[in-house]
Structure 1
Amino acid sequence: MNATNKTHEIVVLGAGYTGMLATVRLARRTRKLNVRITLVNPSERFTERLRMHQIAAGQELANHHIPDLLDGTNVVFHRAAATAIDVTARTVTLDDGTQLHYDTLIYGLGSTTDTSRVPGADEDAWTLNDPRQARRFSHRLTEINAAAGTVTVVGGGLTGIEAATEIAESHPDLTVTLVSTEELGHMMGDKARAHLNRALDRLGIVRKIGVQVAKVLPDAVRLTTGEMIASDLTLWTAGVKVSPLAAHAGIAVDDRGLIITDTTLRSVSHPEIVPIGDAAAVRMPFGVLHGTCQSGMPTAAYAADSVTRRLRGKTVKPFRFGYIHQPVSLGRKDAVIQFTKADDTPRRWYLKGRAAVFYKEQVSGSPVPVFKMSKHMTMQVQFANGGRATRALA
């Protein structure tokens, strides 16, 4: 690149947790190279997906604008949505008619809640995909709480648990029901799971475990057992889907639509494309990573480092990752942290109560301070048991 003095065009699709981190880290690490970075996102607002349940429960969060977060980086921000990728011409078409050329494409289009598999979920269930919808949900919660109404949260994963506890704590006059196909906290150890269930009992949350939803109605949820649950509001957190953009472009994807990667997080079919976060099917010795911020942020940091290293003509070490914990908020005053082995199976140790609240706030609070600091220094992002950092540098 330096020999021809040609500008290397890097396009980043998606300005979520992973896209933002990859962008600001790339901007710093390539500042002395002939590189132009363009970040594409449909909204100027940075959405804190991990805190959407707090918005839904009626809490106010800081409003962060992406152009402000990029100030001083020389990154070009383009407010638009990608509609097509031409992998032969190496172009991305946007919904405003713009066409961007790329030499390297960082693909950070994350996942959204999948409401397509159960009748009525699309029409009559709410999701946490969008802060505006979460805010409208919070307004409806206030109205229903005044009438001592009913809310059903479908999905017993960490998002569903955090949403149900946040809603029950902030709106004590509601009857909150949590529906899950699996035991709540099934990935945790016995003691952490026991604390989780005590918190649900304390908050009066009704559980329907080992059942599936057959249909969502405007005022009820029908289970596959035939049972009807009265539900003035239904919040859907069960299952996710990814953008079909990669599959439509002919990029190699798995059966979930995730881009299949090599050991250095490049697409196996198109190595100039680097998927990160929920968009990437990343295989470790213990299996494919599941989409969480815990694994997503390291893929973003590693992608920035590996792209930079290749631009400098240097070798890149394979990506390595191991889980360290399962952090779950149980309202504003309680939490449980299950510490894990690298493969996400539980260790003996766990935290509960206020100690867990403090811990969770430290490790999974707002990423905005990390973005801001990453403009000025190379932040280490922990990615494996033992505290090794996700850097592609030798």
Structure 2
Amino acid sequence: MTKNRETGTHRVLILGAGYAGMAAAIQLAARGTRREDVQVTLVNAQERFTERLRLHMSATGQRVAELSIPELLEGTGARFVRGWVTAVDADAKLVRIDDDRVLHYDTLVYGLGSVADTAAVPGVEDHAYTLNSPQDAELLADRLARLGRGTVVVGGSGLTGVESAAEIAEQYPELDVVLLGRQEPGAAMSPKPRAYLQAALARLGVRVLSGVEVAKVLPDAVQLVGGELVAADAVLWTSGTRVSPLAAAAGLTVDERGRVVTDAALRSVSHPDVYAVGDAATIRQGYGVMHGTCQGGMPTGVHAAVSIVRTLDGRRPKPFRFGYYHTPVSLGRNDAVVQFTHPDDSPRRVYLTGRMAARYKETVTASPWPTYGRMKKMPASGAFWPRGGRFTRGVR
């Protein structure tokens, strides 16, 4: 790998401090900064870490820990730069931040993940809330606290929609909560956990409209394809995601959704000095393309970091291998369902429900922070390597 001629260091620049970007930064800094010839810089738009797994809690006014990215990086030697990434020049190997700052790199880790797709359906951008950030969640929390009585429509019956609808219904039992989407909630689960999930929504008073498609979001209603109107005092949009257009604008090879197409080692197929991790990447495994989750995102960040260190040492990076392990879904604070899965994310017969599942989900939600802490303290030969959807301790 090349080094900066002036400083003699190899500059690794990581864009995005989500689950994948943070894992890459901490793992790489813990290993790379023991070498005097490696400089790690992490760029993110805000200092506060976004716990996406808890945003549905923030949206209902519940307090969650405010995690500081600089504090999480403390002791690693990695540098944090706060700013919005406005452009990437993959040929010149530079990144522009807030239009006037420029950062140069020798290796780039591209982790600018996804947000809710508010452009696909008319009216969503103007009239719906999202859970893209803690600030977005706080806006919805303020609206819910002022509603008193009324109807909240959650658009999108995927796992984020299910968790959000359940949380709102439990925290605000006086509200009428409507969950609507093309598929029935828990569609990817096996019959028994799916039935449990749907029964839990019914117990919470959530009205489910499945097999429907939204045509337009209005100031006081959601219009379905076919013309039916569903009255709404607030709309939360959780259906579909989109990624930043920066990768395509930079000339990186992207798929039809704008995600960076990677090789087996998570390097851009067009620019091998760029690694792509998490939701920003198209990562193909034997069972197909991975979908974006914290479960899969953190291992991609770890793998990218280890691959960079291997390359610096003159070794070839190894192919990334990942298998899913579970799908935990909270149904309020004291209830949940956990569907255990095969590596290809298809459901197994094993599942958990009720309080035991809720405790399991809480453990999973909290798990990144002990993992990051162990990364910071690990010996130089260690790595937290993804196997079967879990982090295991290994030597590479």
What TM-score results when the alignment is normalised by the length of structure 1?
A: 0.95
- Measured in 2, the distance between the counterparts of 1:80 and 1:383 equals 34
| SS of aligned partner of 1:327 | strand
The Cα shift of 1:370 comes to: 2.4
The root-mean-square deviation of aligned C-alpha atoms, in Å, is: 1.7
Task: Say if 2:378 is the partner of 1:348.
Answer: no
Q: Which amino acid aligns with 1:325?
A: H
Partner of 1:62: 65
Structure 2: gaps of 5 or more residues:
none
- Measured in 1, the distance between the counterparts of 2:297 and 2:269 equals 19
- Measured in 2, the distance between the counterparts of 1:161 and 1:36 equals 42
Task: Say if 2:228 is the partner of 1:224.
Answer: no
Partner of 2:24: 22
Task: Say if 2:252 is the partner of 1:251.
Answer: yes
Q: Which amino acid aligns with 2:19?
A: Y
Question: CA distance change for structure 1 residues 121 and 320 in 2, over 3 Å: closer, same or farther?
Answer: same
- Measured in 1, the distance between the counterparts of 2:310 and 2:163 equals 39
Per mean C-alpha deviation after superposition, the further-off stretch among 24-33 and 237-246 is 24-33
- Answer yes or no: is the 8 Å Cα contact 1:298–1:390 preserved in 2: no
The Cα shift of 1:97 comes to: 1.1
The Cα shift of 1:260 comes to: 0.5
1:327-377 per-position Cα deviation (integer Å, ceiling 9, x unaligned): 101110100011111111111110000111111122232623322332112
Name which of 38, 51, 54 aligns with 2:54.
Answer: 51
- Answer yes or no: is the 8 Å Cα contact 1:370–1:379 preserved in 2: no
| SS of aligned partner of 1:254 | coil
- Answer yes or no: is the 8 Å Cα contact 2:2–2:106 preserved in 1: no
Partner of 1:32: 34
Q: Which amino acid aligns with 2:350?
A: W
- Answer yes or no: is the 8 Å Cα contact 1:48–1:366 preserved in 2: no
Paired-residue identity, %? 52
What TM-score results when the alignment is normalised by the length of structure 2?
A: 0.95
Query: Superposition pairs for residues 190-339 of structure 1, below 5 Å?
Result: 190-339=191-340
- Answer yes or no: is the 8 Å Cα contact 1:107–1:274 preserved in 2: yes
Question: CA distance change for structure 1 residues 390 and 294 in 2, over 3 Å: closer, same or farther?
Answer: farther
| SS of aligned partner of 2:387 | coil
Q: Which amino acid aligns with 1:380?
A: F
- Measured in 2, the distance between the counterparts of 1:37 and 1:325 equals 32
Question: CA distance change for structure 1 residues 140 and 366 in 2, over 3 Å: closer, same or farther?
Answer: farther
The Cα shift of 1:17 comes to: 1.1
Task: Say if 2:149 is the partner of 1:155.
Answer: no
- Measured in 2, the distance between the counterparts of 1:61 and 1:300 equals 24
Question: CA distance change for structure 1 residues 323 and 366 in 2, over 3 Å: closer, same or farther?
Answer: closer
Structure 1: gaps of 5 or more residues:
none
Aligned residues: 390
- Measured in 1, the distance between the counterparts of 2:357 and 2:326 equals 11
- Measured in 2, the distance between the counterparts of 1:366 and 1:98 equals 35
Question: CA distance change for structure 1 residues 264 and 390 in 2, over 3 Å: closer, same or farther?
Answer: farther
Partner of 2:384: 380
1:57-92 per-position Cα deviation (integer Å, ceiling 9, x unaligned): 110111111111111222111111111111121111
The Cα shift of 1:261 comes to: 0.6
Partner of 1:95: 98
